[in-house]
Amino acid sequence: MSAPLQTIPARRGKAARVKAGQRITVVNTHGTQVVDTWAFSADDLDEWMAMEASRAWFLKLAAAVGDSFVTNHRRPILTLLEDTSGGAHDTLIAPCDAPRYRLLGVEGHHDNCRDNLHAALAALGVTAPATPSPLNLFMNIPWTADGRLSWGEPVSTPGSYALFRAEMDLVVAFSACPQDILPINGRTGQTTEAHFSIE
Amino acid sequence: MSAPLQTIPARRGKAARVKAGQRITVVNTHGTQVVDTWAFSADDLDEWMAMEASRAWFLKLAAAVGDSFVTNHRRPILTLLEDTSGGAHDTLIAPCDAPRYRLLGVEGHHDNCRDNLHAALAALGVTAPATPSPLNLFMNIPWTADGRLSWGEPVSTPGSYALFRAEMDLVVAFSACPQDILPINGRTGQTTEAHFSIE
């Protein structure tokens, strides 16, 4: 990781342009932070990394090293090359959003991954026409053999990372998940920054 | 099921308007047919039944009788009231589309669920801004404890059905999946009609 680290501020989003062939490292700096991740074709924001197409591609609930995520046009967009985090990266759960926090009893504004996505894209000068289901890096949603899901705590350690290769020119967007009511970011109430690099 | 049965033609889509409180029965007439299913708020086509929000709502990979599917605004839209089909209804896999069939070796046109959705909506005079991940009724995608998925054959029997209550005024759309290369609709090459009623 020789490229400079960029910050995904706690409870906020950050987007960046990436060229085909470049590598993206996402670092769980403090070990407990979920990072919701989206990718869009740089040429056409209507083409995005799609969890439902990716599961059909690698035929698993979660990717392993060597697997590619594909777009809603069935083209590879990100390939997972290395992973030191323990491999709990959720493909099943929606990004948190304002209605989610209202249901959890929050009155008024609460930071949320959906708004963070669109704010991060706006800061790059691009607009996404929808909110795709994200790749929730470091988010631990265990499943049971009979299909039950639960909100797990992170298994990743401080400084662990996931490394991807960009398979097309793309826009990547991250949100350091501000969920502080469920223990998805470690103990309840804890939200931290994370980092990424592009090289 | 006293309401008249409407036909979802083999390899085609069909959409209908449904009022809050009405019941929708989807019949697997021949027992082997996957029916991709979408629902949109009648008031705002940007609000749709979202599998990623529904899994977060009922905390399972698949719904059971009594569970509600929710929208991307986290509002209940369809509740599963009865199910005589064996309960294999997939929430994980993208609808088939033109790129999917090209990857499977098809040259030229192949009927597909994505196009069927948009054609069915157009026939009702409405337009959806995206292709949400569908509820794949009667589609059997078994998972293993270690997260592997496979293309199963249907477990439903002829005439078995799933019955839903509409939780808001909505537009429902169905596609009798034209997948004839994988055995998802029973033996390879078999695609049939299905039926539904609204009462």
pLDDT tens-digit profile, chain B (199 residues): 468 999 999 999 999 999 999 999 999 999 999 999 999 999 999 999 999 999 999 999 999 999 999 999 999 999 999 999 999 999 999 999 999 999 999 999 999 999 999 999 999 999 999 999 999 999 999 999 999 999 998 899 999 999 999 999 999 999 999 999 988 888 777 899 999 999 9
pLDDT for the residue numbered A187: 76
Count CB atoms within 10 A of the CB of residue A82. 14
CB contact under 8 A, A144 and B148: no
Rounded Cα gap, residues B183 and A166, in angstroms: 33
In chain B, the residue whose alpha carbon lies closest to the alpha carbon of A98 is: B73
Phi, psi values for residue B53, rounded to 5°: -80, -35
pLDDT for the residue numbered B152: 92
Q: Tell me, what amino acid is at B121?
A: L
Phi, psi values for residue B98, rounded to 5°: -55, -45
pLDDT for the residue numbered A3: 86
Decide if the complex's ipTM is over 0.90. Answer: yes
- Retrieve residue A38's tokens: 């989206």
- Which residues of chain A have a CB within 8 Å of the CB of B63? none
CB contact under 8 A, A60 and B147: yes
Angstrom CA distances, B128 to B15, B34, B119, B122, stand at 12, 22, 10, 9
Considering the entire predicted model, what is its pTM?
0.96
CB contact under 8 A, A72 and B131: yes
Chain A contacts in chain B segment 159-188 (CB below 8 A): none
Is residue B138 within 8 Å of residue B8, measured between CB atoms? no
pLDDT for the residue numbered B94: 98
* Element of type H or E holding A92: none
CB contact under 8 A, A103 and B133: no
Cα torsion angle, B91, B103, A44, A139, sign = positive
Phi, psi values for residue A102, rounded to 5°: -60, -40
Phi, psi values for residue A129, rounded to 5°: -80, -5
**Residue B1 Cα, gap to closest chain A Cα (Å):** 31
CB contact under 8 A, A92 and B52: yes
* Element of type H or E holding A23: strand A23-28
**Residue A66 Cα, gap to closest chain B Cα (Å):** 15
Answer whether A198 touches B (CB < 8 Å).
no
Chain B contacts in chain A segment 107-146 (CB below 8 A): 129-131, 133, 143-145
CB contact under 8 A, B50 and A94: yes
Bridge partners (DSSP) of residue B195 are B7, B27
Three-state secondary structure string covering chain B: CCCCCEEECCCCEEEEEECCCCEEEEEECCCCCCEEEEEEECCEEEEEECHHHHHHHHCECCCCCCCEEEECCCCEEEEEEEECCCCCCECCCCCCCHHHHHHCCCCCCCCCHHHHHHHHHHHHCCCCCCCCCCEEECCCCCECCCCEECCCCCCCCCCEEEEEEECCCEEEEEEECCCCCCHHHCCCCCCCCEEEEEC
Find the CB nearest A52 among B56, B94, B129: B94
In chain B, the residue whose alpha carbon lies closest to the alpha carbon of A61 is: B147
**Residue A2 Cα, gap to closest chain B Cα (Å):** 34
Phi, psi values for residue B131, rounded to 5°: -115, 95
Question: Strand, helix or coil at A115?
Answer: helix
Is residue A76 within 8 Å of residue A94, measured between CB atoms? no
CB contact under 8 A, A145 and B147: no
Rounded Cα gap, residues A101 and A108, in angstroms: 9
Low-confidence ranges of chain A (pLDDT < 50): 1
Is residue A102 within 8 Å of residue B102, measured between CB atoms? no
Question: Strand, helix or coil at A99?
Answer: helix
Rounded Cα gap, residues A56 and B146, in angstroms: 16
pLDDT for the residue numbered B31: 93
Rounded Cα gap, residues B87 and B148, in angstroms: 19
